[in-house]
């Protein structure tokens, strides 16, 4: 039918769409998949054939992504995403999409991205941190606690650590850096190692074993205010688990032994000390 | 006449009009941008400035709050789009810049730069002398981290897309750390400098039903740290005699030189061979390794605990190495056996082993003569982790999706038990998780999402790991009227590990509610109010090292958080924003943190806006009153451009 027909009724969308990167489909500079060209038919590349819709004027005759006055009920996320993934399935950032938490929770691409307008890259409805916080209200609150990553100051963004499209299964959609390391090491690269003497939970578990990465009332974003408690919750002999009990001279009645990292200063891993002392 | 029947007529009329209208002229080069310059003052600063710098760290002086420019040049030979944005330059602790340059269909280049200051000196943290009134953390840092992330993509969105990328993370600065000998520890100055460079390149192959990404990369790493102390009285000197002598540090030089690197490979495949089948898989492999040279020379009076001998000098030399081959593979398949049913099956395996060796030569100077030793130590850490998950999702209708599934996690890890000797100790992981959830969409007004997990784990790597747990999340959005909507969420996690010697009991709850009021699309005024309540309760017994007595580690965290933001257009673009956040924590470490603000945006002339902002930072820690601080931060500036 052609996009020119669509713009006659959908004038406002047609105007803003020219500034949108998706207009490249309509002007023929980009094919949606290598084998298919939609020059001058960009609208139909996503919404499906428009002839019947234009003749009858019925919303049911065309694929709506939802939220419109005529068709307020959004279709299931799977159907919306299938349209976008015709082109975007191969994006490198979508490698873990199928096992991502947003896929599981039925969040569609258009829940975050706007397809017609040009607001900000990568076509997000609002600024990326604010967008995440619209749903993740509790995380927004955590970032207002005193010891936190500097999100509101612009030093980091939610998407620096998390891949909203999904990463490896079961890892809170945390990004991986240098192809195969925890996303935290993107900035904290001095803790990447490998160290000749590793602190096992840094590698075997997540950084969140000891830290609250979004924000905490405890210094260094620790999960406990008292270092000795944090350490001793694991370092108590249990034969079937990793860990071990400190020798008896660690008398907790003395302040020096309640501050473990005073001596065990290389707590994330040491180059020379098996007890992580230096 | 049906409402739609007029449309073909309108379409034809419109088309005729469109045909008569001349084609839009090619847009010439467009340059837009703005600069936000200003000045910041701090006033009424009180309390601990070390804690202010650790938490806020905004300074006074002239600032470039931000600048951005966009250049559009449709049909340009070298580029058709350039976007440059910078934020918070001019002495601010967090500077960022981003550059995007592209020519459609030819290339896309992206550069991200960040310069982040990190100051951390908290009197109550790592301070054994706090009880004596010394407000000096022995783990303080004043460092800077710089990050550069660049990527060049050629022929984006074509059948073959090559790309090259470079990443650098470097840190430098100084701090305070601790020098530890057998009988004592001494706070000493340290200088830090590390850098990681990562280079990668790859190909993206895009076919109609198959996408493949192949990537190869390499990293280099260096870490040079120095620790030193010379001539003076160290605050850690122990003047209560041990073995008849004071324990003193007179001189120390310690230097690390670590050099490392490695390769990494990544392969990603994604396919849709049939309408009802999708699959994706990843394979990641890396093999970083590191070589270490270390030297330490110290003089003073020190105690050798094993023989209760006093020594006056020590020379340590060490060389070490470590490598970590690491492979991670994942595979997911989505099958649609029926129109309304999807089954997603995913599998993950993550395996690495770290093997390390170190040779330490030590010479101690004692009254009886030098004592020389040489110790070779090897270490290893092994992980084999696996996870399999199946989810079935049923779209009952446009308004409801239900899902259920199962996850099985299993694996083993071998780690040397610290301080207990060279023996490696194996640990096992085994956990069965049941999954369920639902998504409800009632018109355009109500969205509700429920996510539930319940697990039974009989083996965990660590005592505090998830074992028998139940996790639930509920999120909902209700659009009450066009201009008023409410969002709420509730999350709960119960984790118990009743195993002998563990007895972990943990529960966290988070409830949040936000109201958005935007009458007339927020053109005149808007209001956002949110409130969050979070609680954490945890208890686990542990053995006190000194007497092996059983004690209980209890943790309590009760947080009330409130936030508000009211935006009002006073007159012709003159806008005022009032709001702030308040976080009140009770429990194991009570803290109150207030951050109210007021902001005014006043258009002065076309393309000239005056901005003014006031913020208040108030930190109040009742148990550590010496850490309290409060300060007013004023900023004003001019935004030039559009």
Average pLDDT over residues B560-583: 94
Residue A70 has pLDDT above 80, yes or no: no
Given this model, what pLDDT does residue B13 score?
A: 40
Residue B403 has pLDDT above 60, yes or no: yes
Helix (H, G, I), strand (E, B) or coil at B399: coil
The verdict on residue A267 lying in a domain is: no
Mean pLDDT of all residues in chain B?
Answer: 90
Query: Does residue A152 sit at the B interface (CB-CB below 8 Å)?
Result: no
Other C-beta atoms lying within 10 Å of the C-beta of residue A144: 23
Cα torsion B204, B206, B210, B213 to 10°: value is 0
**DSSP string for B270-282:** EEEEETTEEEEEE
Whole-number Å distance between alpha carbons of A57 and A52: 8
The residue among B86, B108, B106 whose CA lies nearest residue B96 is B86
The residue among B363, B346, B371, B374 whose CA lies nearest residue B296 is B363
Cβ–Cβ of B15/A5 closer than 8 Å? Answer: yes
**A193-249: pLDDT as tens digits:** 899 999 988 988 889 999 999 999 999 999 999 999 999 998 887 555 566 778 888
Three-state DSSP string of B573-636: CEEEEEEEEEEEEEECCCEEEEEEEEEEEEEEECCEEEEEEEEEEEEECHHHHHHCEEEEEEEE
Helix (H, G, I), strand (E, B) or coil at A131: helix
Residue B26 has pLDDT above 60, yes or no: no
Residues of the domain holding A149: 88-178
Beta bridge partners of B554: B539
Given this model, what pLDDT does residue B17 score?
A: 41
Query: Does residue A92 sit at the B interface (CB-CB below 8 Å)?
Result: yes
Given this model, what pLDDT does residue A99 score?
A: 84
Cα torsion A201, A202, A203, A206 to 10°: value is 80
Whole-number Å distance between alpha carbons of A106 and A66: 14
Residue B343 has pLDDT above 80, yes or no: yes
**B590-630: pLDDT as tens digits:** 999 999 999 999 999 888 999 999 999 999 999 999 999 99
Given this model, what pLDDT does residue A61 score?
A: 78
Given this model, what pLDDT does residue B14 score?
A: 41
Given this model, what pLDDT does residue B75 score?
A: 82
Q: Which positions in chain B touch A254 (Cβ < 8 Å)? A: 128
What are the counts of helices (DSSP H) followed by strands (DSSP E) for chain B? 2, 28
What percent of chain B is predicted at pLDDT more than 70? Answer: 94
Residues 325-384 of B with CB under 8 A from A: 326-328, 330, 332-334, 342, 344, 346-348, 350, 352, 354, 356-358, 360, 377, 379, 381, 383
Residue A23 has pLDDT above 90, yes or no: no
> Does a cis peptide bond (omega within 30 degrees of 0) precede residue B370?
no
Q: Which positions in chain B touch A31 (Cβ < 8 Å)? A: 157
Average pLDDT over residues B454-464: 89
**B7-22: pLDDT as tens digits:** 333 333 444 444 444 4
Given this model, what pLDDT does residue B4 score?
A: 41
Given this model, what pLDDT does residue B29 score?
A: 66
Phi, psi of B3 (to 5 degrees): -55, -30
Residue B233 has pLDDT above 60, yes or no: yes
**How far apart, in Å, are the Cα atoms of B327 and each of B167, B210, B263, B288, B591?**
21, 24, 12, 12, 43
The upper half-sphere exposure of residue B305, i.e. CA atoms within 13 Å in the direction of its Cβ, equals 6
- Which chain A residue's Cα is nearest to B317? A272
Question: Which residues make Cβ contacts (< 8 Å) with residue B22, sequence separation at least 6?
Answer: none
Query: Does residue B306 sit at the A interface (CB-CB below 8 Å)?
Result: no
The upper half-sphere exposure of residue B617, i.e. CA atoms within 13 Å in the direction of its Cβ, equals 23
**How far apart, in Å, are the Cα atoms of B273 and each of A145, A146, B541?**
48, 50, 54
Q: Where are the domains of chain B?
A: 64-119, 126-138+146-305
pLDDT-derived band at A35 (thresholds 50, 70, 90) equals low
Residue B484 has pLDDT above 60, yes or no: yes
Query: Does residue A95 sit at the B interface (CB-CB below 8 Å)?
Result: yes
Average pLDDT over residues B522-547: 93
Phi, psi of B13 (to 5 degrees): -65, -45
Name the minimum distance, in Å, from the CA of A237 to any CA of chain B. 8
Q: Where is average pLDDT lowest: A80-94, B272-286, B298-312, B446-460?
A: A80-94
The upper half-sphere exposure of residue B497, i.e. CA atoms within 13 Å in the direction of its Cβ, equals 26
Whole-number Å distance between alpha carbons of A199 and B205: 40
Cβ–Cβ of B381/A94 closer than 8 Å? Answer: no
Find out whether B308 and B243 touch, Cβ atoms under 8 Å.
yes
One domain for residues A92 and A173: yes
pLDDT-derived band at A50 (thresholds 50, 70, 90) equals confident
Average pLDDT over residues A60-65: 78
What percent of chain B is predicted at pLDDT more than 90? Answer: 72
More confident residue, A27 or B261: B261
Given this model, what pLDDT does residue A243 score?
A: 65
Average pLDDT over residues B297-319: 91
One domain for residues A56 and A96: no
Residue A68 has pLDDT above 60, yes or no: no
Instruction: State the complex-level ipTM.
Output: 0.89
Cβ–Cβ of B270/A275 closer than 8 Å? Answer: no
Residue B543 has pLDDT above 70, yes or no: yes
When mean pLDDT is compared over A102-111, A215-224, B407-416, the highest value belongs to A215-224
Question: Which residues make Cβ contacts (< 8 Å) with residue B192, sequence separation at least 6?
Answer: A190, B141, B143, B171, B172, B173, B174, B175, B225
Q: What is the pTM of this model?
A: 0.90
Residue-wise burial string across A157-187, b where 16 or more C-beta atoms lie within 10 A, e elsewhere: ebbbbbbbbbbbbbbebbbbbbbbbbbbbbb
Query: Does residue B395 sit at the A interface (CB-CB below 8 Å)?
Result: yes
One domain for residues A154 and A200: no
Given this model, what pLDDT does residue A119 score?
A: 64
Beta bridge partners of B641: B34
Helix (H, G, I), strand (E, B) or coil at B286: strand
Q: Which positions in chain A touch B159 (Cβ < 8 Å)? A: 34
Residue B214 has pLDDT above 80, yes or no: yes
pLDDT-derived band at B379 (thresholds 50, 70, 90) equals confident
Helix (H, G, I), strand (E, B) or coil at B156: coil
Which of the residues B53, B90, B122, B139 would you substitute to probe the A interface, choosing the one with the greatest number of A C-beta atoms within 10 Å?
A: B139
Q: Which positions in chain A touch B207 (Cβ < 8 Å)? A: 34
One domain for residues A174 and A242: no
Residues 187-226 of A with CB under 8 A from B: 187, 189-190, 192-198, 200-201, 203-205, 209, 217-220, 223-226
Question: Which residues make Cβ contacts (< 8 Å) with residue A12, sequence separation at least 6?
Answer: none
Residue of B147, B316, B358 with shortest CB distance to A196: B358
Whole-number Å distance between alpha carbons of B374 and B324: 26
Given this model, what pLDDT does residue B25 score?
A: 44
Given this model, what pLDDT does residue B475 score?
A: 94
**B129-159: pLDDT as tens digits:** 888 888 889 999 999 999 999 999 999 888 8
**How far apart, in Å, are the Cα atoms of B488 and each of B402, B484, B515, B540?**
20, 14, 9, 32
Which of the residues B185, B433, B461 would you substitute to probe the A interface, choosing the one with the greatest number of A C-beta atoms within 10 Å?
A: B461
Residue B583 has pLDDT above 90, yes or no: yes
Query: Does residue A11 sit at the B interface (CB-CB below 8 Å)?
Result: no
Given this model, what pLDDT does residue B16 score?
A: 40
Find out whether B559 and A217 touch, Cβ atoms under 8 Å.
yes
Cβ–Cβ of A227/B126 closer than 8 Å? Answer: yes
Cβ–Cβ of A153/B88 closer than 8 Å? Answer: yes
Residue A275 has pLDDT above 50, yes or no: yes
One domain for residues A92 and A172: yes
**B100-131: pLDDT as tens digits:** 999 988 999 999 999 999 999 999 999 988 88
Beta bridge partners of B68: B34, B85
Residue B408 has pLDDT above 70, yes or no: yes
Average pLDDT over residues B331-344: 93
One domain for residues A165 and A224: no
What does the block give as tokens for A80? 């919306």
**Tally of domains in chain A:** 3
One domain for residues A172 and A227: no
Residue A60 has pLDDT above 80, yes or no: no
Residue B234 has pLDDT above 80, yes or no: yes
Residue of B254, B461, B561 with shortest CB distance to A205: B461
Name the minimum distance, in Å, from the CA of B344 to any CA of chain A. 7
Question: Which residues make Cβ contacts (< 8 Å) with residue B199, sequence separation at least 6?
Answer: B165, B166, B167, B217, B218, B219
């Amino acid at each position: 039918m052609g996009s020119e027909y669509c713009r006659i009724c959908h004038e406002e969308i047609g105007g803003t769409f020219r500034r949108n990167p998706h207009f490249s489909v309509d002007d023929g500079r980009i094919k949606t998949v290598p084998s298919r060209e939609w020059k001058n038919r960009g609208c139909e590349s996503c919404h499906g054939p428009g002839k019947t819709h234009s003749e009858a004027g019925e919303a049911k005759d065309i694929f709506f992504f939802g939220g419109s006055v005529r068709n307020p009920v959004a279709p299931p996320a799977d159907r919306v995403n299938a349209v976008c993934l015709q082109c975007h399935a191969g994006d490198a950032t979508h490698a873990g999409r199928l096992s991502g938490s947003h896929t599981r929770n039925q969040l569609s691409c258009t829940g975050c991205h706007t397809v017609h307008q040009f607001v900000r890259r990568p076509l997000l409805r609002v600024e990326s941190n604010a967008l995440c916080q619209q749903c993740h209200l509790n995380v927004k609150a955590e970032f207002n606690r005193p010891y936190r990553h500097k999100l509101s100051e612009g030093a980091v963004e939610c998407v620096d650590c998390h891949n909203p499209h999904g990463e490896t299964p079961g890892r809170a959609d945390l990004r991986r850096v240098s192809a195969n390391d925890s996303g935290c090491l993107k900035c904290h690269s001095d803790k990447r190692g490998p160290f000749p003497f590793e602190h096992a939970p840094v590698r075997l578990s997540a950084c969140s074993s000891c830290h609250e990465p979004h924000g905490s009332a405890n210094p260094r974003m620790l999960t406990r205010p008292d270092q000795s408690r944090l350490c001793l919750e694991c370092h108590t002999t249990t034969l079937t688990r990793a860990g071990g009990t400190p020798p008896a001279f660690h008398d907790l009645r003395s302040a020096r032994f309640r501050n473990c990292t005073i001596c065990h200063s290389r707590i994330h891993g040491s180059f020379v000390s098996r007890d992580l002392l230096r | 006449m049906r409402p739609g029947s007029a449309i073909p007529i309108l379409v034809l009329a419109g088309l005729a009009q469109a045909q008569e209208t001349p084609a839009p002229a090619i847009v010439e080069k467009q340059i837009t941008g703005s600069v936000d310059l200003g000045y910041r003052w701090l006033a009424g600063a009180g309390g601990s400035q070390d804690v202010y710098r650790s938490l806020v760290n905004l300074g006074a002086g002239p600032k470039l709050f931000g600048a951005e420019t966009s250049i559009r040049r449709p049909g340009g030979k070298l580029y058709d789009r350039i976007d440059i944005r910078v934020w918070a330059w001019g002495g601010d602790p967090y500077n960022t810049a981003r550059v995007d340059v592209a020519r459609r269909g030819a290339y896309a280049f992206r550069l991200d730069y960040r310069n982040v200051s990190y100051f951390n000196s908290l009197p109550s943290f790592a301070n054994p002398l706090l009880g004596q009134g010394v407000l000096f953390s022995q783990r303080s840092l004043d460092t800077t981290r710089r990050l550069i992330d660049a990527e060049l993509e050629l022929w984006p969105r074509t059948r073959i897309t090559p790309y090259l990328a470079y990443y650098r993370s470097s840190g430098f600065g100084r701090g305070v750390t601790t020098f530890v000998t057998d009988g004592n520890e001494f706070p000493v100055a340290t200088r830090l400098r590390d850098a990681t460079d990562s280079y990668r390149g790859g190909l993206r192959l895009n076919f109609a039903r198959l996408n493949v990404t192949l990537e190869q990369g390499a990293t280099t790493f260096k870490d040079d740290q120095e620790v030193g102390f010379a001539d003076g009285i160290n605050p850690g000197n122990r003047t209560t005699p041990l073995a008849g002598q004071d324990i003193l540090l007179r001189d120390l030089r310690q230097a690390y030189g670590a050099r490392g690197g490695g390769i990494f490979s990544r392969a990603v495949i994604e396919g849709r061979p049939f309408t009802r089948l999708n699959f994706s898989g990843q394979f990641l492999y890396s093999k970083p390794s590191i070589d270490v040279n270390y030297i330490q020379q110290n003089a003073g009076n020190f105690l050798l605990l094993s023989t209760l001998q006093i020594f006056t000098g020590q020379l340590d030399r060490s060389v070490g190495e470590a490598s970590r081959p690491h492979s991670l593979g994942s595979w997911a398949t989505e099958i649609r056996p029926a129109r309304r049913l999807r089954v997603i099956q995913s599998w993950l395996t993550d395996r690495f082993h770290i093997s390390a060796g170190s040779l330490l030569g030590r010479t101690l100077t004692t009254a009886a003569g030098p004592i020389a030793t040489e110790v070779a130590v090897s270490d290893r850490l092994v992980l084999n982790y696996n996870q399999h998950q199946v989810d079935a999702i049923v779209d009952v209708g446009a308004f409801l999706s239900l899902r259920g599934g199962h996850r099985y996690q299993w694996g083993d890890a071998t780690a040397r038990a610290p301080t207990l000797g060279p023996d490696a100790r194996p640990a096992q992981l085994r956990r069965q998780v049941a999954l369920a959830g639902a998504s409800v969409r009632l018109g355009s007004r109500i969205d509700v999402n429920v996510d539930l997990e319940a697990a039974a784990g009989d083996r965990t790597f660590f005592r505090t790991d998830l074992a028998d747990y139940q996790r639930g999340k509920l999120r909902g959005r209700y659009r009450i009227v066009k201009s008023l909507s409410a969002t709420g969420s509730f999350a709960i996690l119960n984790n118990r590990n009743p195993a002998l010697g563990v007895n972990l009991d943990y529960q966290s709850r988070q409830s949040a509610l936000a109201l958005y009021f935007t009458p007339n699309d927020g053109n005149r005024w808007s209001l956002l109010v949110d409130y969050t309540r979070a609680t954490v309760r945890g208890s686990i017994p542990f053995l006190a090292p000194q007497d092996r007595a059983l004690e209980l580690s209890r943790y309590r965290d009760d947080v009330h958080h409130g936030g508000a933001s009211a935006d009002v257009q006073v007159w012709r673009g003159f806008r005022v924003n009032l709001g702030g956040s308040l976080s009140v924590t009770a429990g194991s470490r009570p803290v109150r943190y207030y951050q109210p603000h007021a902001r005014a945006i006043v258009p002065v002339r076309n393309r000239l806006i005056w901005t003014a902002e006031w913020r208040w930072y108030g930190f109040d820690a009742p148990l550590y009153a010496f850490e309290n601080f409060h300060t007013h931060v004023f900023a004003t500036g001019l935004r030039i451009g559009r």
